[in-house]
Structure formats: C-alpha cells, structure tokens
Structure 1
Amino acid sequence: MLFTAASSASIRDPDSIPQSSRDSFAKPQHPLPIPIPLQLLLPHPKLSLGCPILSRLLAGGLPVGTITEISGESASGKSQLCLQLILSSLLPPYLGGLGASSLLILPSLLPSSSLLRRLSLLPSPLHISPLDHIFVASAQSPEHLMMLLYQADRLFEKSPGKMPVRLVVVDSIAAIFRSEFENNLGDLKSRTGMFFRVAAKLKDQARKFGAVVVVTNQVVDVMGPEVAGDGGNNHHIGPVLWSSGRMVAPAMGLSWANCINTRIFLSRSDEVAAMGVNGGEAIVRTKRTMEVVFAPHVPRSSCEFVIRKDGVFGLELER
C-alpha cells in the first residue's frame, strides 16, 4: 500500500511529530530556485544607429533607458548622426527602432530649419514622413531646459501623434550651459548641481518610459600638465583623445562625465590620399573615426566612418 492515512492522534497533536522530521520539512536540503522576471532573459532593447557596422560597435545600438553622449569638434558629424538616430527611432523594434517619435531640443530654433532640411534629404524609413513625428523646442538656459523636460512628461505619456515619444536629443548640452555660469567657485558648484538635476530627470524619463536619451557635447583643447592619459588624477581623467591633430577632451569636465552612461567620440583628421602628378596638389581625404570611450555594455573600441548625402556609414577596413 503506497499511501496511508494520517492517524487522528498525529493530526490533533503536532508535537507528536519528531523534531528532526519537522526540521527536514522547514529547511529543504536543496534550496528552490528563485523566480526571475522573464524580461531579464530577453535581449536588452537598443536603438540602431542606422548602419549595421556602427550598430555592431555598440553591440546592437544605444541601450534603452540610458543617456548617451556624442562628443566631437565642429563638423565632426554629431548632428548628422543625431538625425540618423531620429530616423531609426521611427522603425519598429524588430528592425532596430523604437516605433516612436522624437523630441529635439536645441539652444535656439534658428538652426532648426537647416537641420530639418538635411533630415528631409535623408531616405525616410517605411515611407514615413519624419517631420510628422519630431517635436522641436529651444532651451536658452539650464533652468529653461529643466522646465522643458518636465513639460515633456506629457509627450511621453500621451503624444499628440500616432507614435509615442521615446527618443530625446539635446543638441548641444554644452551650448545650453556655456553662457550661464562664470569660472568661479560659486558658479562651478551651481553648475555641477544643475548637471546632476538635468541628468537625473533625463535618466528618470529614460527608465520610466523606455526611452533613449542622446546629448551632443563639444570638446576643449587639452595642453601641458592637464594631460592625464588613462591613469591620471586631474580634471581630464580618462583616455587621451585626438581630433584634427589636437589633444582634446569633452567639455563640461568630470562632473558631467559621471552623469552619462555612454560616451561616443567622433574625430576627424586630414590625410594625404595620393600625391599630385607632375607637381600637382596632393589629394587630401578626411578620415573620420567613431570611438566608444566608455559604455556599460561594450569595451572601448572604434571604427572609421563616412558621411554621405544618404547618411552616416561605418567602414570595414581590410586587414
């Protein structure tokens, strides 16, 4: 007989069960596995950079729920890459997009017409008109930027368009902060506090709404003893970066660097591609490089890229 009924005495008197038996039920010999959310087993959603080579550099793209900084000197390709990200965000997730609209914040609306004109020349994904899914605002100061971000919560929760807003682009964060603070101790403390407030709000929106935040940043020249390299202990801590033959560092210093999750650096340099024939002028080409300075999901790496009329594209160089 495999099963026996419990005796009435054992049911009425739990103390009749030996202590060793009760301990064996209370503390199983093999601990049960802890259930985990299914979401943790799925690939983390990312926003494609619009080019498979560039996206591969970041293991699929920019992670959702984080802040990515794109830094570089003027004409390095920062704004052009941001326009490509805006187009990518329109794509459905299975094609590397967010299926979403974008919020573009500029220091002034004056350059917006030229930016949007460049955007209209890029190939539109899935025959969608990108201008119908871009919200544009200007922030003249850090305080104004904070006000816009709080107002943007309504765009995340209920967008006027058919697609929700899931991409925020601030072009550029340095221009918004540049004219607001002087170079004295009191203003530097105020600026650092504002860095943390702006970053905290952007990170909260990214996590809460499943969004991607992209900010562009300018660079400053680094000279003399301020050069730290990888192991220094000064204001420009981090790897030495080069652009146009100059040693540079992203603007706004170490305090801002601690506010972002990923830093992408775009550099450019002129190289002699071929010598002129019979004393003619040499042919010079612009070499552009995208470098992942730091990121939570990929190691430091880089690749060359080109800017064409139809977008930004990485190059696979022959080895």
Structure 2
Amino acid sequence: MDQMTPSAEDDLDLEVFDPYTQAVLLKGGLLTTKHIFQYTEAELQKKFNLTAAATRRVFIEASKISTSNVNSGRYKEPHNQVLTTGCDHIDKALGGGLFKYGITEISGESGCGKTQFCLQIALTVQLPLSFKGAKSGAVYICTEDRFPSSRIQQMISNLRFKYQCDNRIDMSELCQTNYGDNILISHIATVEDLKKCIHEMLPKALLHRSIKLIVIDSITAVFRGEYTLSEAPRRSRDLRDLAFCLHNLSVKHGLWIICVNQVTSSMSDITGKKLVPSLGLSWANLVTTRLLMSKTPCSRYIEVIFSPHSGPTSVPFVVTEQGIESLN
C-alpha cells in the first residue's frame, strides 16, 4: 500500500485548537495530516461530534501543513503525494496540484472542458515522478459518451512537446511510455453497474495493475435519471455509499479520484442564470475538493470553489492540441 510515512512535519499543532477539539483529536488519534484527510469534513464532523467551525479549522490547519511540506519538498517517497494537472498555473491555484486521498469534483456546463481536463490527468498520472506524475495507470469510467479515443491519441502525440526537461533518461521514459495501454476504460449505463464496478471490479484491478487514478465521467448521468422525487432519500444513500467506497479505495491504495458533475440552475437565483453543481447537498458534503469550469465567448475558466489545500481562485485557460493550457 502506497502511503506516506507520518513524520514530525505532518503533526498537527494541537495548541491552536480549543480544549474540546484538542481532546477529540487526541482521543480519536487524529494527530497527523494523513489521519485528517482520511475523512471529508462532513464525515469528520459527524463521527467525532465537532462543530462545523471546529472541523473547518482542523482542515485548514492540516492543509497548511500539507501544502508547506509539498512546497518545501519534504515528502520523499516512491510516489508523489501531489499530481500535476499539466498546467503550472492550475497547479498553483490548487496549492501544488491534485492531492491524494478524497474526491475531487470537476463540474461545469456542457462543452466547457471537463472531459479535456480528465483526459489530461489520465496522462499526467503516467508521467515520470520528476514531472510530478505517478508513473502509474488510470481507470476511466464513462457514463455519458463513448471514450474519446481519437482525442486522447492527439494529446499523446503532443506529450513530448508539452513536457520538456534536460534529463535524457526522464525524456526517454516520457517518450517510451505506452500511454494508451495504461488507461483501462469502462462504459457504464446504470447505477447498479456503477456500484458493481466500484465495489467489485475496481478492487480486483487495483490488486493486479499499477493504477493511481480513477475518473468517473460523469457521476451525474446515472444518478440523475434513475430516481423519482419520492426516491430522493434512496438516491442520497446510494451516493453516500458510492462516495464512501471511493474514499476508502483512495486511502487504502493511495489514489487520486476525479468525479465529473453537471450543473443546474440555482434555486436561489430568480433569473435562472446562476449555475451550481448538480446532485445537491448530500453529494457536496462527500466531496473533498470542488472545481467549477465555465466559459465565455472569449475564454474558459476553472475555479476552485473549496479545497482543504487552497483558497477560492480562478484561472483562465484554453484547450489546444496539447491539452489544457492557462492564459496567464
């Protein structure tokens, strides 16, 4: 199991918390960033009976330590804890890149670049460690459209132009990797098939293949159409069950998990123009990092809505033959 070994640099400073929170953290053995990031904020708050404000403070302090360790290069391990998105400015907005453990959601309206982002991550996870990759494969679960094979091949053919370094060994490894063969593709049409894939097929694949990324594109497609209004509680339970399984796989195997979500009109906006991620609060509480993509006639944007590793920010980008690139 690929997990970082806790060290003094990972320890929480208990003195910054109130006495009750200190006691909870001590009793629960929640003394390092690794222990904290096993949970979503909602899970931590409920399981250890913390207030929302106290839980948020714990995650903020843990993220400060985690980000500091990444930026200072303290993590020395066989696999990186932070995965590059393939764009330096987006990495910076995320506090260094995509962090292991938990669920990263990418939402946005149709055609704004969500699948392009996921395809790029399916390639960066295969990059050598020196490129902030993980030298591992990916599982790509499609629930809406067929996997865009021609587009991924176009991006693969441009990798040697997108990533450059002076180390001949690293460049040789980058060019010789068989990127297409390292992406396991599954097409899913129903909630039951998705459950079976996550609960049965994925654990088996993880035991026999070097996989560090799971992409579900999208989580919305199967959950939006199979439930009536009266079945909303069952939908919430199924979403929660699926998310908990993904969280557990993430922690056990050291994975990055990306779930694509669609958007819907905000009920609080009478104009109907404000778009918010679908699936409601029951899903939002299970997400670790939420990213929102949008587009205008002139540009596209990726916005950090919330994350334990960085504050809200926005990065303009374009989609090229090589993939996603920032305009900064």
**1:80-125 CA distances to partner (integer Å, 9 max, x unpaired)?**
01010011000123321111100000115x522xx12100001236
1:171-190 equivalence runs, <5 A: 171-184=217-230, 187-190=231-234
1:206-255, Cα deviation, whole Å (9 max, x unpaired)? 110000000101001125xx249xxxxxxxxxxxxx9xx93111010111
Aligned pair partner of 2:292 in 251, 258, 265: 265
Q: Which amino acid aligns with 1:111?
A: R
Query: Are 1:287 and 2:319 counterparts?
Result: no
2:106 counterpart of 1:70:
yes
Bigger radius of gyration among the two: 1
- In the alignment, the residues of structure 2 paired with residue 106 and residue 176 of structure 1 have an alpha-carbon distance, to the nearest angstrom, of 10
Which protein is richer in helix relative to its size?
2
Amino acid at match of 1:309: E
Q: Which residue of 1 aligns with 2:184?
A: 135
Name the amino acid aligned to 1:68. T
Contact 2:146 2:187 in 1 (8 A): no
The aligned residue for residue 157 of structure 1 is: 207
Equivalent residue letter for 2:259:
V
The question of whether the paired residues in 2 share the 8 Å contact of 1:124 and 1:130 is answered with no
Q: What are the residue-to-residue correspondences of 1:223-242 with 2, within 5 Å?
A: 223=267, 226-227=268-269
Any idea what the Cα deviations from partners look like across 1:254-308, whole Å, max 9, x if unmatched? 11000110000000112xxxxxxxxxxxxxxx32111000001111111111111
TM-score by length of 2: 0.69
Q: Which of the numbers 245, 254, 264 marks the counterpart of 1:201? A: 245
- Partner Cα separation in structure 2 for residue 171 and residue 119 of structure 1: 15
Q: Secondary structure at the match of 2:305?
A: strand
> Greater relative contact order (Cα 8 A, min sep 6): structure 1 or 2?
2
1:50 aligns with 2:86: yes
Helix, strand or coil at the partner of 1:246: coil
1:215 pairs with one of 248, 259, 263: 259
What residue in structure 2 maps to residue 296 of structure 1?
308
SS of the residue corresponding to residue 248 of structure 2 reads helix
The list of structure 1 runs, each at least 4 consecutive aligned residues, that deviate by more than 3 angstroms after superposition, is 36-44
> Which residue matches 2:136?
100
C-alpha displacement of 1:38: 12
RMSD: 2.2
Alignment partner of 1:310 is 2:298: no
Quote the Cα distance in structure 1 between the aligned partners of 2:32 and 2:285: 29
In 2, the alpha carbon distance for the partners of 1:118 and 1:38 equals: 38
Q: Report the Cα distance in structure 1 between the residues aligned to 2:125 and 2:97, rounded to whole angstroms.
A: 11
Whether the aligned pair in 1 keeps the contact of 2:159 and 2:322 (CA below 8 Å) is no
Taking the aligned partners of 1:93 and 1:59, their CA distance within structure 2 comes to 18
Instruction: Calculate percent identity across the aligned residue pairs.
Output: 30
What is the total number of aligned residue pairs between the two structures? 240
- In structure 1, stretches of 5+ residues that fail to align are 1-35, 229-241, 271-285
Question: Are the counterparts in 2 of residues 86 and 167 from structure 1 also a CA contact under 8 Å?
Answer: yes
| Counterpart Cα distance in 1 of 2:317 and 2:33 | 37
The aligned counterpart of 1:169 is: 215
Taking a change above 3 Å as real, the CA distance of residues 301 and 144 of structure 1, as seen in their structure-2 partners, is same
Alpha-carbon distance between aligned partners in 1 of 2:33 and 2:110, rounded to the nearest angstrom? 44
**Contact 2:291/2:302 (<8 A) preserved:** yes
Q: 1:251 aligned to 2:286?
A: no
Q: 1-side partners of 2:113 and 2:249: how far apart? A: 26
Q: Alpha-carbon deviation of 1:37?
A: 8.4
Would you tell me which structure has more strand in proportion to its own residues?
1
Paired with 2:269 and 2:255, the residues of 1 have a C-alpha distance of 35
- Please give the per-residue CA displacement for 1:167-218, whole angstroms capped at 9, x wherever unaligned: 000000000212110122xx10000000110100101111100000001010
Q: Secondary structure at the match of 2:130?
A: helix
Aligned to 1:266, the other structure's residue is in SS state strand
Closer, same or farther: CA 139–293 of 1 in aligned 2, 3 Å: same
In structure 1, the residue matched to 2:150 is 117
TM-score computed with the length of structure 1 as normaliser: 0.71
Deviation at 1:144, TM superposition (A): 1.3
Deviation track 1:15-71 (CA, whole Å, cap 9, x = no partner) reads: xxxxxxxxxxxxxxxxxxxxx989886447111100111111111111111210000
